[in-house]
């Protein structure tokens, strides 16, 4: 009996440790993988352009640690700056339209584009944090209004509410009467999202406003 209790405790501690370490490990792995990939291809590219500068005393291609990190950050920032230019913006629009119309690719591209635009940029969608009474009872769910008018679906005075899932980037969309939605006014949308995704364990008072 004591042995069974010991194993249960061990499994409990293992799962608890996994919940703490998994998000950190996955985030670290994703970031380092990206930077290592760039670090791996940059020396050869630079060596082709500047062979003397990128060759050490033994004739090997030099590898500059951290160069990938700097390049990725500069690339992302540069694209953000250049995209604000009118001419470049039009080029991006044409490319965007082309991908959005290409069979097969358009579904993946459009879904990913809308997903990222929902979190950042001028078209942010997850800004109206609310409590939604989805099942018409005393249970309320944390969510975000993504569409304020559902008349296209034949519903008057209804809204579309996205309900995020805990410990996941997934979620569900519900079309419910506006009367069953309450705006969350005492915390920000970012704090609300963190609270929902963390399964309600995050203390929203410790989360900075964004």
Helix-helix angle 105-119:86-101, to 10 degrees: 130
Q: Which pLDDT value is given to residue 183?
A: 93
- Residue 170 parent element (H or E): none
Q: What is the dihedral of CA 38, 43, 44, 50, to 10 degrees?
A: 130
For 98-124, the pLDDT digits (tens) are 766 777 666 666 666 666 665 555 556
pLDDT tens across the length of the chain (210 residues): 566 777 777 777 777 676 667 666 776 777 777 777 777 777 666 666 666 666 666 666 666 666 667 777 777 777 777 766 666 667 767 777 776 677 766 666 666 666 666 555 555 667 789 999 998 788 999 999 988 899 999 999 999 999 988 876 678 899 999 999 999 988 888 888 888 888 887 776 655 555
By CB atoms closer than 10 A (0-12, 13-18, 19+), residue 193 is buried
CA distance 24 to 63: 27
The pLDDT, as a whole number, for residue 208 is 53
- CB count, 10 Å around CB of 43? 17
Strand order in the sheet with 141-147: 171-177, 158-164, 141-147, 129-132, 181-183
| 147 within 8 A of 163, measured Cβ to Cβ | no
DSSP structure class, residue 206: G
DSSP 61: B
- Residue 142: the pLDDT is 92
SS3 146: strand
């Amino acid at each position: 009996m004591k042995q069974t209790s010991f194993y249960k405790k061990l499994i409990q501690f293992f799962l608890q440790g996994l919940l703490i370490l998994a998000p950190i490990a996955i985030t670290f792995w994703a970031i380092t993988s990206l930077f290592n990939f760039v670090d791996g291809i940059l020396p050869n590219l630079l060596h082709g352009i500047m062979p003397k500068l990128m060759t050490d005393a033994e004739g090997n291609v030099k590898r500059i640690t951290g160069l990938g990190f700097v390049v990725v950050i500069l690339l992302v920032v540069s694209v953000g700056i250049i995209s604000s230019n009118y001419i470049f913006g039009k080029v991006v629009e044409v490319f965007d339209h082309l991908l959005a119309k290409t069979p097969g690719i358009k579904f993946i591209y459009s879904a990913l584009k809308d997903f990222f635009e929902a979190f950042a940029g001028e078209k942010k969608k997850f800004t109206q944090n609310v409590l939604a009474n989805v099942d018409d009872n005393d249970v309320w769910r944390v969510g975000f209004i993504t569409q304020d008018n559902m008349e296209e679906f034949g519903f008057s005075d209804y809204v579309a509410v996205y309900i995020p899932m805990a410990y996941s980037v997934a979620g569900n969309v519900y079309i419910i009467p506006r009367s069953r939605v309450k705006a969350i006014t005492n915390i920000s949308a970012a704090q609300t999202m963190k609270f929902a995704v963390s399964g309600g364990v995050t203390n929203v008072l410790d989360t900075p406003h964004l």
